[in-house]
Amino acid sequence: MLRRQVVICNNPRFVQEAFVKKHANFQRKTPQMRMALQPLLGDGLFVSDQEVWQRRRKIVAPIIHTSRLRDFAPVMIETACEKRAEWRGRGDGAAIDALAEMAHLTAEIICRTIFGRDLGQTYAAEIVEAFSDYQRHVDQIDLPSMLGLPEWLPRWRGRAVKRSVRRIHAVLDEIIDGYAARQSNGESSVIGGLLDARDDDGKPLGKDAIRNEAAVIFMAGHETTANTMAWAWFLLSQAPWAANRLHTELDTVLGGRVPRLDDVPQFPYTRAIIEETLRLYPPVPILGREAMAADRFGNTEVRKGALVLVVPWLLHRNPTLWSKPDHFMPERFLPGGDGANQSKYGYVPFSIGPRICAGLAFGLNEAILCLAVLAQEFALDLAPGKVVEPVCRLTLRPGDRLPMTLHPRKP
């Protein structure tokens, strides 16, 4: 493409080579991704590489590790229950934008877990609006890099992008500056973890580093889960048999009570719905890397600077790996299905290898718990005449809106 070689890996063997065996040469994100996000994320984990990435990964991963789910799950459940209560007041057949509803829900959750309950509720709307504004105006293609121009060449940034960055950074700086006075309340939060963190030399993170990592966690944890939830509602609206099985599982396990984190292992079908949604509509449909040196995949020579793309959108629909690859079949992720038996390099909604998403457990459990809370009492139908088509920007969305109608159900 123009002056860049592009290599697409669409089988587990070469996914493993690119992201695991040859990670050292393919750890760097594409110039497009870095140029699009560096104004906002700085040297944050999502766009950094080599020594900076290694140091930050050691610090950030434990803060959002699986072991911290017990701290964060109550916030997820509490926020989902608030959304459910809000839906109760709207009445049978109420029209909603499911994409916007899920975006609001996941933004509240991520804000409260990053900043703590009080600050999360205070700043959620401001942060969400500023992030949405940034995504609307950021360039989708870095043309200079595709033409082979050097990265030190300044990129033009529109006023809207600069305004959004200033707005987000100002809010994050204000939160970080004021957080120390609140640490005595004992509440667990990501900001608290970042402030307490020390590197291998015992040094704390600087203020800019804390701000950058908080921005990364918000960006990665908000929109990706919101899109997954929206896609799940759409798919369930088209598969009433799957919705019925989901409701039966929730009614049987919960008997009308609120879900808990300990219930998640008892939700195999709920989990399968989320996993199948991630297969069909992976939140990040293209995982790009830049070759730091010349290399080879099989008979293919890879030039230095080439773009190496693992494309979950293609990989997850590869007919040599999946039966009926374009069908919505949650059962494939139950024991014995081709999803349950799939190579871990053939199913990569959270990436794979050293750069696998540090928030994998957080995002997956969040989606399962939120679906359980909401589907306990509601079914959603797609608005008549609506045709849903995927739109890929930084993430894969069901268009700009997902009009659906709410229908209360009785367990």
Give residue-wise pLDDT tens across range 138-194: 776 777 788 877 777 877 778 888 888 998 898 888 877 777 666 545 566 788 888
In this structure, the dihedral spanned by the alpha carbons of residues 392, 394, 399 and 401, taken in order and rounded to 10 degrees, is 180
C-alpha angle 263-264-269 in degrees, rounded to nearest 5:
115
Report strand pairing: 6-9 vs 307-310.
parallel
**Measured distance CA(28)–CA(24) in Å, rounded:** 9
- For residue 312, give the nearest of 357, 270, 269 by alpha carbon: 357
Tally: H helices and E strands in the chain: 14, 10
C-alpha angle 283-107-178 in degrees, rounded to nearest 5:
130
- For residue 371, give the nearest of 95, 88, 125, 101 by alpha carbon: 101
Encode pLDDT of 89-101 as tens digits: 999 999 999 999 9
Give pLDDT, residue 392: 85
**Measured distance CA(305)–CA(79) in Å, rounded:** 44
Give pLDDT, residue 183: 56
Report strand pairing: 307-310 vs 287-290.
antiparallel
Burial of 215: CB neighbours in 10 Å, binned 0-12, 13-18, 19+: buried
Q: Which fold has domain 6-408?
A: Cytochrome p450 (1.10.630)
- For residue 351, give the nearest of 265, 224, 168, 214 by alpha carbon: 224
Give pLDDT, residue 45: 87
Give pLDDT, residue 182: 61
Please, what are the averages of pLDDT over each run of 10 residues along the chain (411 residues)?
Answer: 91 95 93 86 88 87 84 94 96 95 91 75 75 76 78 80 88 78 63 82 86 86 91 98 97 96 97 98 94 93 95 96 97 93 94 91 96 98 95 86 94 63
Q: Identify whether the C-beta of residue 314 lies closer than 8 Å to the C-beta of residue 224.
A: no
Instruction: Return the bridge partners of 289, or none.
Output: 29, 308
Backbone angles phi, psi at 367, to 5 degrees: -65, -45
Taking the CB of residue 202, how many other CB atoms lie within 10 A of it? 6
Give pLDDT, residue 298: 87
**Measured distance CA(406)–CA(394) in Å, rounded:** 29
